[in-house]
Amino acid sequence: MTANLPPQYDPLATETKWQKYWEDNQTFKADPEAGGEPYCVVIPPPNVTGSLHMGHAFEETLIDVLVRYHRMIGRNTLWLPGTDHASIAVQTILEKQLKAEGKTRHDLGREKFLERAWEWKAESGNTITNQLRRLGVSVDWSRERFTMDEGLSAAVLEAFVRLYDEGLIYRGNYLVNWCPASQSAVSDLEVDQQEVEGHLWHFRYPLTDGSGYLEVATTRPETMLGDTGVAVNPQDDRYKHLIGKTVTLPIINREIPIIADEFVDPTFGTGCVKVTPAHDPNDFEMGKRHNLPFINIMNKDGTLNENAGEFNGQDRFVARKNVVKRLETDGVLVKIEDYKHTVPYSERGKVPVEPLLSTQWFVKIDPLSQRALEALDQSNSPVFVPDRWTKVYRDWLVKLKDWCISRQLWWGHQIPAWYAVSETNGEITDTTPFVVAKTEAEAREKAEAKFGKDVELARDPDVLDTWFSSGLWPFSTLGWPDETKDFDFYYPTTTLVTGFDIIFFWVARMTMMAGHFTEKMPFDTVYIHGLVLDENGHKMSKSKNNGIDPLLLIAKYGTDALRYTLVKEVIGAGQNIRMEYDRKTDESKSVESSRNFTNKLWNAARFVMMNLEGQTPQQLGSPTVEGTGLELCDRWILSRYYQVVQQSRTCLENYGLGEAAKGLYEFIWGDFCDWYIELVKSRLQQDAEPNSKKVAQQTFAFVLEGILKLLHPFMPHITEEIWHTLTQTGDDQCLALQAYPEPEPSLINPELEQQFELLFGVIRTIRNLRADSDIKPGLKVTAILQSESEKERQIISDGGVYIKDLARVENLTVTASLDADLGQTIAGVVGTVQVLIPLAGVVDLAALRGKLEKKLGKVEAEIKHTAARLTNQKFVDKADPQVVQVARDGLAEAEKQAEILRDRLKLF
């Protein structure tokens, strides 16, 4: 029985079938003992709270294209999946649930809260991994990891203890970014600088000796309650005589010094700045330089504390208004200016962060960043694609400050430090001594050795910054700190594919951690992709509510169509792409175009298989080996095929994924479907010459199978389905594990391809002339092709059979010169070839002319009517602007049609 495809392609059934097949058969399970050249990618772990958004779909598709390609060219491939525990996000979800129940996490206690967190993880935490399966990602699910699984948690403990023992982790009182909403410290990298319309408040600080005052300006007037100095530039002649004197702080009546510091910009404001060391990072550094007191006026929930005097207990923004009111009452408020400035917001809490003095755990960055810089400067490791991101990465490494790694949360890796609280009255204070250990038993042993058998221990309640465990991801997932087979074979990983927005969050932390713990950079190459922009070219975000749901588009058009659209849109590595989308109908023209491409491929494959008489490509044999009877169009399609093979390999090796996808689209839709299938149809008839028919079948089958292999990394499901039907292969094999096609230089013939471009130009021109003259499709015509070039005439003569067949030509004349009298003809030009079709006996010229004149009359009447509307000022002024624009567009289109009709009439 002849194997063939159903009449219509069903994306959902096909995709579900092959996703299940690949996973059930562990098609993508990696084996380090198989040897060969490794190719390893670790998935950028999405948050366990997440659901698939367009950025995920884009990133995972790009990775999958690379992974499937490298697997097919014979590399020992591992793509390792997993998720991040997302401390703040999970805790936020759980605390919202508890709030709805009228409870807090403290009502439950830490142990019960964590039980609930793990229950949530078991029930809801696999949403995004199941959605990733819908994309058909070729990951090794048997190696799936979670940043809080047993192995990765052990790696986190190992890393923390090692860094502490080496003096690279310390506990200290430092100014941190504090998020009052989540009541946790956040790193510099978790802060989003937002430009806001604010105010600049000017007020006077009176000199203590009564000789005058200094005017200062601030965007945060409430912080003046914690001022411990006023600073001026030492070179500022206006204030040199005041350096060393004091002012009296309004409201608080604290006497504070006037200091000189080079940091102060004499051109900003009045040239005097208030100094609040406990609430501003720049003031913090000035305070240290001048030994100023550090006075904290804020509680961790964003309210003011007892150091704020009468404003104690007020929310920071309420206190701001009240402080300004009091300053105005006291007569020291000078003016309030509108002022646009940047305010740091917590990415998670979505509120302005407060610089706050707090005792936290820190990683000393300098030794780690220096090792990463050394790898970059001496070995260009890792390589960034596009290269412009190398400088961004380097600049960031140079600017990094010590990393605050403690978070005041319960969900996450609890810090492995135990405090000897018996030394500080049973409480953890800033001065409570502690020990660091991997286990409580080890901690007790250390503590008893230092403080005696009766020591009372309490573990640090804080957890580590999520990025600490993510920084270990490329090697902890492969078994580090143990010497596993995976780690030995697949590390360092090969390629990291990620967005530019987390070069700082994640890439730099991985390189620093890997450099320190493994003495190698964690990946050879970092491929930085752009963003998926919405239909208006804007960045998608939750706040704008302009996201586009990839699952909705998958349900409507199929996974392969969405994947292909995302890759095909990339023009140049690292560029943003724009997704066409109609929010009223939830439709996308660009994804619909790719869906049409899947249908085109499906129908072409059906046609091919219907004409193979049940034979597989293997049974037919390769035309490149046995094809002694290759005809001109067979040699042309094979040349085009091998050109595309070469182009696809070159593009994919150099991260030109979009260019590879577009090249395949043009070859499959244009060369193979639109031209080659048409060129060989006559050779597949029952009465066709047997050898010619067999060669056509061989070439057909060979090129189609090659197309499926080339396209597989981009559209894995439809290609797998067609390949199995074409090759009649059982379930013991799959296309995903077949060899990627290799170029055959001896069969690439650029000259032949140019010749066919001329032939196709002639065919298109004849078809257009027929349409312009209303020549019936079934009627064969005479065509005269004139060229002074002997070479062109030879090409046309050699391809005459194709011109006759595809352009419906009965009599074809190829000549160097034209007869003087050819009668009524219609003519066109292809390069230097004139194409003429005599119309006598083919077309009723009078009737055609009458038809064209009637059509022109209607168009001219439409032009007159629309032009009259648009010259009516009342219409233009009062009508809906959209209606006016439609009228203008219609007029332009009608004028264009009229011009075409007039040109056609000149021919008759």
E strand spans, 819-890: 825-830, 833-838
Residue 1 pLDDT class (50, 70, 90 cuts)? very low
Q: What 3-state DSSP class applies to 121?
A: helix
Amino acid at 817: S
Tell me how far apart the alpha carbons of residues 794 and 755 are, in angstroms, rounded to a whole number: 10
Can you tell me the distance from the alpha carbon of 821 to that of 846, in angstroms, rounded to the nearest whole number? 20
Taken in order 595, 596, 601, 603, the sign of the CA dihedral is: positive
User: Distance (Å, rounded) from C-alpha 328 to C-alpha 848?
Assistant: 89
Q: Which amino acid is at 255?
A: E
Instruction: Go through 426-444 and write b for each residue having 16 or more CB atoms within 10 A of its CB, e for each that does not.
Output: eebeeebebbbbeeeeebb
pLDDT digits (tens, 9 = 90+) for 139-179: 999 999 999 999 999 999 999 999 999 999 999 887 888 88
With bands split at pLDDT 50, 70 and 90, how would you rate the model's confidence at 520?
very high
What distance in Å separates the CA atoms of residue 127 and residue 166, rounded to the nearest whole number?
40
Q: Per-residue pLDDT for 3 more than 60?
A: yes
DSSP 572: S
Say what the pLDDT of residue 201 is: 92
Q: Using one digit for the tens of pLDDT, what is the confidence trace for 375-387?
A: 999 999 999 999 9
- Of the listed ranges 199-213, 338-352, 590-604, 648-662, the least confidently predicted one is 338-352
Residue-level pLDDT at 618: 95
Residue 689 has pLDDT above 60, yes or no: yes
Q: Any alpha helices (H) in 87-126, and if so which ranges?
A: 87-100, 105-108, 110-124
Mean pLDDT of the chain: 92
Contacts for 108 with CB less than 8 Å, ≥ 6 apart: 98, 116
| 412-466 pLDDT, tens digit each | 999 999 999 999 999 999 899 999 999 999 999 999 999 999 999 999 999 999 9
In which band, very low, low, confident or very high, does the pLDDT at 390 lie, cut at 50, 70 and 90?
A: very high
Amino acid occupying residue 850: G
Residue 625 above 60 pLDDT? no
Global pTM? 0.85
Q: DSSP for 21-79, please give it.
A: HHHHTTTT---GGG-S-EEEEE--PPBTT----HHHHHHHHHHHHHHHHHHHTT-EEEE
DSSP structure string for 480-493: TTS--HHHHHH-SE
pLDDT of residue 505: 79
Query: What pLDDT, on the 0 to 100 scale, is given for residue 323?
Result: 95
Q: In which region does residue 182 sit, left (phi positive, over 0), alpha (psi from -120 to 50) or beta (all else)?
A: alpha
Q: Does residue 627 have a pLDDT over 60?
A: no
pLDDT at position 820: 62
pLDDT digits (tens, 9 = 90+) for 734-769: 999 999 999 999 999 999 999 999 999 999 999 988
Q: What is the rounded average pLDDT of the residues 25-39? A: 97
Which whole number is the average pLDDT over 83-110?
90
Interatomic CA distance for residues 17 and 853, integer angstroms: 58
Mean pLDDT of 774-802: 91
